[in-house]
Structure 1
């Protein structure tokens, strides 16, 4: 990951959410579930090998070539989400997975 500040700030925000959940629910178990869901969510967005996943969905089954890796390193210098290409299949997969996780987390925390 090129920018460690984003990862650190995400973990700090997660810690604040865990504290708020703990204060509101008075449940250590719900705090731990919130922490685990948050860490997995942050890891799923910030830590993958974007040179591999920042390609068309149909090419995820093949290894990354040297040329693709070099072009990914050149685009990694751009900051934030501007370096990512927009693929509808990846967006649908992320929306489905994270939407399902957030829905179940909210059902657990609010019960």
Structure 2
């Protein structure tokens, strides 16, 4: 249920950003681009299967076994959604940084 709350909050913030971009640029096309970029960003953070990606990077090419699922359920003390992994952090920073840069240059035109 907590994931639904986070998704709703992100979508409300996205709607506010889209409205601000619309007032600032007076362009429906830029509003639509902002909306879809925001949906892609929200989807990239909230939708991935974090139990799959919380494994070591070298194991990402192999499917998750039943033993790993049971072990992770037993060992899980809290949410694993926001664990810090340097490689994942670098990948997200590069991808979202480039997307944000491209979006900003488009909106400023």
Q: Same fold (TM over 0.5)?
A: yes
| Residue segments in structure 1 that go unaligned for 5+ positions in a row | none
Q: Which of the pair has more CA radius of gyration?
A: 2
State which of 83, 86, 94 in structure 1 corresponds to 2:84.
86
- The equivalent residue for 2:94 is 96
Deviation, structure 1 residue 85: 2.6
- The equivalent residue for 1:41 is 41
- The equivalent residue for 1:60 is 60
Whole-Å separation in 2 of the counterparts to 1:71 and 1:13: 37
How many residues align structurally?
Answer: 108
Is 2:8 the counterpart of 1:22? Answer: no
What's the TM-score, normalizing by structure 1? 0.87
Task: Provide Cα deviations, 1:60-106, integer angstroms capped at 9, x if missing partner.
Answer: 1111122332344463x735xx6433211111110000000000000
State which of 81, 101, 107 in structure 1 corresponds to 2:105.
107
